[in-house]
Homo-oligomer: A and B are copies of this chain.
Amino acid sequence: MQVKTVTIKLDKHCYDIIIGPDLITRVALQIKDSLQKKIFHQTRLAIVTDTNVAPLHLDPLQAELTKNKIHTVPIIVEAGEQSKSFSTLQTVIDQILSARLERGDCVIAFGGGVIGDLAGFAASMIRRGMNFIQMPTTLLAQIDSSVGGKTGINSRYGKNLIGAFYQPQCVIADTSVLDTLPPREFRAGYAEMVKYGLINQPDFFEWLEKNGQEIFSNGAIRIEAIVRSCQFKAAIVARDEYETGERALLNLGHTFGHMLETATAYDSKRLIHGEAVAIGMILAHQFSAQLNLCDPTLTHRIETHLKAVGLPTQLKDIPGRLPNAETLMTFIAQDKKVSQNNLTFILTRGLGQSFIAKNVPPDAVLSFLEQKLSEIR
C-alpha cells in the first residue's frame, strides 16, 4: 500500500499530511525533512503522548528516532479529556522548558485529539511558538482534529473555550496504528467521516454506505477514506483558516454534540466526542426537518448507516439521566459559536446540503429539545 500526501495550502504556510501504513517505524526522515529549514544541527523532539498510546507505540517511535540520532523527550499525560486542562497544560510546558528545548526544536503530538489539542496549544505558546508535528493515532484525529490548526483546552465554562490557531509543520498519519484502537474509538472517528459526506458531499456519503465496513480493516479502502476526508477538510481550512465563514460547516452535529458532552460531564463511560457528534448530526437533521428545511425521511437513511457501524444515534442511547431542556439550553448558550445571543446552527436542506443558519430562534431549539427529551421519558 502506497503512502499518500495531502497538502494544506494556507496564506503563509503550506504543509503536508502524510498518510500510509507502518509510518512510525520509518518516520525520522520525514520529520527531518519537515523541519529542515529551521534546524541548526541537532534537533530535539518532545513527544507528548498519553497513558493509552505510550505502552503500545512509544518504544518503536523512540527507537526509530534514536536510531536516526534525534534526541527525544517523552512526556506522558493521563489519557482522556480531563487532560485538556490548565494544570496539565502547565505540566507539559514545564517539562518542555525544563528539558531546555528551544525555538528550533519540535513538539510532536503523538496521540488522539486530546493530545493534539494539548500539545499543539503548548507548542504555540512556548517561546511564542515552537515547531510542531502532529502524529495522530486515532481515526478522529487523523481525519479531523489534527488537520487545520485548531488547538486548545477546556474550561469549566465549556469545551475548547481556550486555545489558539496553530498550524503544524506536518501531519503524519500512520494508518496501521488504528488497528490497536478500541472499536468504540474507531466508530467515533467514523462519525466525523460521515459528517464530511453530510456537509456537502453526497457522493462520499453514498461511497461510505457501500464501503464503510471496509474502513474498519487495515487496507487500501481505509487509506482512501482517510485521504478523501483530509482532502475535504484541507480544502475548507485553506479557504477559511480562522473560521470567519464556511469552516463553520465543520460544526455540523457539534452544537448539539457539545451540549450532550457537557450534559454528561465529558464522562467517556457515557459518551465520547464522535458519539456525541453522531447523535448531534441526527438531531441537526431532525431539527432541520422540523423547521421544514428538509425531507423528514432523510434522517432515517443517515441513522440506518450510523447504526450499521454501531454508532449511537438517539438520546436514549446515552446511558444515565440527562438534564432538562432549559439546562441543555444554557450549555448551548455558552458555546463558542454563539454571538450576542443569536444561536448559530449547521442545518441542512437535504443529503449533503448543509448550511450555516444564523439567528436560529432559541424558542424553537428549546421546544425541539423538550420534545426529544419527552420521547425518552
Which chain A residues (37-76) contact chain B, with CB distance < 8 Å? 40-42
Can you list 5 residue pairs at the A/B interface with Cβ under 8 Å? A93-B155, A94-B155, A98-B157, A104-B339, A128-B165
- Are B128 and A340 interface neighbours, CB within 8 A? no
Chain B neighbourhood of A152, CB < 8 A: 125, 128
Residue of B125, B127, B155, B162 near A336 (CB, 8 A) is B127
Closest chain B CB from A343 CB (angstroms): 12
- Are A162 and B339 interface neighbours, CB within 8 A? no
Is the C-beta of A202 less than 8 angstroms from some C-beta in chain B? no
The closest CB in chain B to the CB of A334 belongs to: B100
- Are B40 and A103 interface neighbours, CB within 8 A? no
Is the C-beta of A352 less than 8 angstroms from some C-beta in chain B? no
Given contacts A86-B86, A94-B155, contact A126 B161 (CB under 8 A): yes
Is the C-beta of A239 less than 8 angstroms from some C-beta in chain B? no
The closest CB in chain B to the CB of A40 belongs to: B340
- Are B102 and A338 interface neighbours, CB within 8 A? yes
Type the 1/0 row for A148-189, where 1 means its CB is closer than 8 Å to any CB of B. 001010011110011111000000000000000000000000
- Are B42 and A340 interface neighbours, CB within 8 A? yes
Is the C-beta of A124 less than 8 angstroms from some C-beta in chain B? yes
Closest chain B CB from A90 CB (angstroms): 5
Task: Tell me the complex Cα distance, A156–B97, Å.
Answer: 9
Is the C-beta of A371 less than 8 angstroms from some C-beta in chain B? no
Type the 1/0 row for A1-32, where 1 means its CB is closer than 8 Å to any CB of B. 00000000001100000000000000000000
Task: Tell me the complex Cα distance, A155–B95, Å.
Answer: 11
Chain B neighbourhood of A150, CB < 8 A: 128
Closest chain B CB from A281 CB (angstroms): 23
Is the C-beta of A362 less than 8 angstroms from some C-beta in chain B? no
Is the C-beta of A342 less than 8 angstroms from some C-beta in chain B? yes
Given contacts A100-B334, A128-B165, A129-B165, contact A340 B41 (CB under 8 A): yes
The closest CB in chain B to the CB of A43 belongs to: B340
Given contacts A41-B340, A42-B340, contact A161 B94 (CB under 8 A): no
Chain B neighbourhood of A242, CB < 8 A: 129
Closest chain B CB from A73 CB (angstroms): 14
Closest chain B CB from A5 CB (angstroms): 27
Task: Tell me the complex Cα distance, A204–B76, Å.
Answer: 53
